[in-house]
Each structure stands twice: as C-alpha cells, then as structure tokens.
Amino acid sequence: MSSKKEPQSQVPAGSKGSWSSFLKSIASFNGDLSSLTAPPFILSSTSLTEYSAYWAEHPAVFVAPAKESDPEKRALLVLKWFLTTLHQQYCSRSEKLGSEKKPLNPFLGELFIGKWLDGDSDLGETQLFSEQVSHHPPATAYAIVNNKHSIELQGYNAQKASFSSTIQVKQLGHAQYTLTPPGSNEKEKYVITLPNLHIESLIYGTPFVELEKTAKIVSSSGYTAKIDFSGKGWLSGKKNTFTANLFKTSEGEKKSLYTIDGQWSDNFTIKNARTKEVVDKWVVKENPTSPLQLAPLEEQDLYESRRAWKDVAENIQSGNMDAVSNHKSRIENAQRELRRAEQSEGHEWERRFFNRIEEKDDDPLFKDLASELGISGNLEGEKTGGIWRFDPASAANAKPPYHKVGGEGLGITE
C-alpha cells in the first residue's frame, strides 16, 4: 500500500459547509453545470472569452510553421505548437491561483480583443478576436491572425459538463489553423479536434484539469497527428501525461514519422521515429509567455470583457459577494430584456466578427479534412448555437464601438 499522504483540504474553514453543499448539488444536478452558483472562494474574476488567448501566448511558436518549406517538418511544427498551448489552456490558472476557478459566464456579444507585439520584429503583429456568439447554448468563437506570415487560427467551442464521480467535460467544436507555405500561393489547412477533460481534487477544494482520451490534427498536406492523454492513476503514473505521433495520413499511425511524449504541463520530448534521435524538447518554465496587449480600460468598448465585468471582477477579488451578485444581476437582467426586445421585434443579435453558416456551405477543404477526422456531417451545431466562421472583412478595420446598441444591454445608460 502506498504511504503517500493524501492532499490537504484547501477549503477555507468558513466555506466548508457551502463547499459540501456545492459538491452535493453537482452530484444530483441534471443540466448545464455552469449555471450552478459556486462558493465565493472558487470564483474567478476572468471571463471565458479571455481563454481564447491561450492559443497564441508563444507567438514565435504559433508563427514557426509558416516559415518551414518542408511539409513534413511543417506538420510537426503545427503539432508542437498545439502541444505548447496545453499548459496555458488547462494548467496556468491553477498554478497562478492555487486551483482551477469557476470563470465568469460570458454574455451574448461579449468581446475580448488584443494583440501580441513580440520583441522579434520578424514576427509582426498577431491579433486576437474572441466573441461570445451564443448564450443558450454558451459558445465562444475566436480568430488569431498574423497577416505578415499569412497565418489564421479560427474556431469555436462549447462545453457539455456532467457528473460521474467527478465533473466530466466534453469539449464541442474544433479549430482550424491555416497558412500559406513558403513559395506557394495555395493555402494549407489543419483541422484540430479538442480533448475532453475532467476535474481532479474536487473534494479537497483544489480542483485542477486533467485531459483525457484523444485529440487529432489532420492536414491538407497529407499528415495526421494523434495525441493520447492519460493521467495519474490510483497507483502509478504522472498527471498531465500524453503520447503523440505524426504520420502520413495515407500510411496510418503504425508508420510513425515522429513521436512525442511527456507532460503537457511541464515538458516533452520530440523524437524522429525512424532514427530514434531526439530532435527537439520543450520545457514550460524555460519558455515564458508573451503578454497580450489590450486597449486601456477607458478606451475599450462597453462589450469588451475587462470593461464589462470590471465591477464584478473587483468585488470578487475583494470578497464582497453582495456587490458581485448585484453587478452580475444588472448585466444578466439587461441581457434578458434585450433578448425579449429582439424577439418581439423579430430580429437576432448581430455578431461582430463571426457568421453562422449552414454545414453544406462550409469550404470543400475543411469538409475533406473533417471527413478524415470522422466529424464531417456531425459538427453538432445545435450544441454550439451554430457552425461559426470568422469574417476577416469585419475585423480588417475593427475599432470601438463594436456593438450596435448603447450600454442598455449591460444595464448602462451612456
């Protein structure tokens, strides 16, 4: 029997009752878990719309595939980039805050917009556009664009949470990474599926994310990457463990070109499967992220996350939960009123940077790759409020105000 000590509970003494009640309510709840009210100590002051930034917090890694002329190495660099995003997407918050927190649920039309200006002038500017495109069901769409290197990442995601011994989360949606190879005029596309996850250490009040099952990346250049996630078991293993391999789509995964293994939260090693040679390593702590630059708060649009949630965030951080409830209710009630007005007038909220499309109208290249992944004809648009595609024209000269109404949708009179 293992002599390893169990982790100590981090639930504040004054919150043990509410935490116990919260866990019981999760176990018996049948519906969208995001609608449950969590105890104050587990609330985050950050909106889910901000999570889109995690895709490109290493701009040099995000851009690197577009500089590579060899298609095999390009596919490997896309896989490496994807793996480097996992720490930020699923681990950075628990490291910073001590545990995973329940984020703010975005309202329809909420925006998070910024850019990275890396110290390396060769990288150029990388822009982020994130928008809450659906509220029921909740879904966030995003696009990250580097025009200098003709790179675009776009996608959308929603989460379906359920309880079975712990919180299980199925991630809905997908991402598309598109580049133009050196010396070519033809676009190359990579379609990415999203891993499922579950929450560990709930009982101790220190929840953290563990990824599970499989994610895949398939490219129009003829390569597929498969990433298998596993975690710490009852008796052995390390948390956040994964193995990945890259292979020609036509030859199958038994003929690997490269293999990668390690912990996505810490480090991993890339090997040439044919020579067994180590060709690259990634260590999270040796690769600091680049800060996303945002407009000053007073210059942001009323619908941008940081400005819209300012009062809520400040009161979460100060622990004034009565004020949190009041400010949240003001936004939520104003949004309900705006939806009622739209319904009575027979029109729908106009999205700023994304369009809902019919699956039959999607581009042929995406359809081919989606077929390889087994998701063609099953994009589950009904679970994400639609199939969402980025509109570059609407973002070309984007500047506030982005919304088509005043502050009434946020309970604000301008």
Delimit the domains of the chain by residue range. Answer: 17-286
Nearest in space to 199 (alpha carbons), one of 82, 91, 40: 91
Q: Tell me the HSE value of 62 on the side-chain side, using a 13 A CA sphere.
A: 33
Segment among 19-33, 300-314, 320-334 with least mean pLDDT: 19-33
Share of the chain above pLDDT 70, in %: 86
CA 9 to chain centre: 28
Q: Is the pLDDT of residue 334 over 50?
A: yes
Q: Is the pLDDT of residue 258 over 80?
A: yes
User: What does the alpha-carbon distance between residue 20 and residue 23 come to, in Å, rounded to a whole number?
Assistant: 5
17-286 is classed CATH 2.40.160.120 = yes
CB 102 within 8 A of CB 81: no
Query: 177-190 burial by CB neighbour count: b if 16+ within 10 A, else e?
Result: bbbebeeeeeebbb
Torsion of CA 70, 75, 77, 83, to 10 degrees: -170
pLDDT band at 167 (very low <50, low <70, confident <90, very high): confident
The pLDDT score that the predictor gives to residue 2 is 39
Residue 356: partners with Cβ closer than 8 Å, 6 or more residues away:
133, 385, 386, 387, 388
pLDDT band at 162 (very low <50, low <70, confident <90, very high): confident
Could you tell me whether strands 278-283 and 196-200 are parallel, antiparallel, or unpaired per DSSP bridges?
Answer: unpaired
Q: Which parts of 227-320 fold into alpha helices (H)?
A: 305-308, 310-318
Nearest in space to 141 (alpha carbons), one of 209, 51, 59, 211: 51
From residue 363, give the alpha-carbon distance in Å to each of 187, 189, 366, 374. 12, 11, 6, 16
Share of the chain above pLDDT 90, in %: 69
The whole-number average pLDDT for the span 248-267 is 96
Q: Is the pLDDT of residue 406 over 70?
A: no
The pLDDT score that the predictor gives to residue 17 is 63
- Look up the pTM and report it: 0.92
Tell me: the pLDDT tens digits for 232-254? 654 456 889 999 999 999 999 99
User: What does the alpha-carbon distance between residue 136 and residue 343 come to, in Å, rounded to a whole number?
Assistant: 14
- For the chain, how far is it from start to end, CA to CA, in angstroms? 65
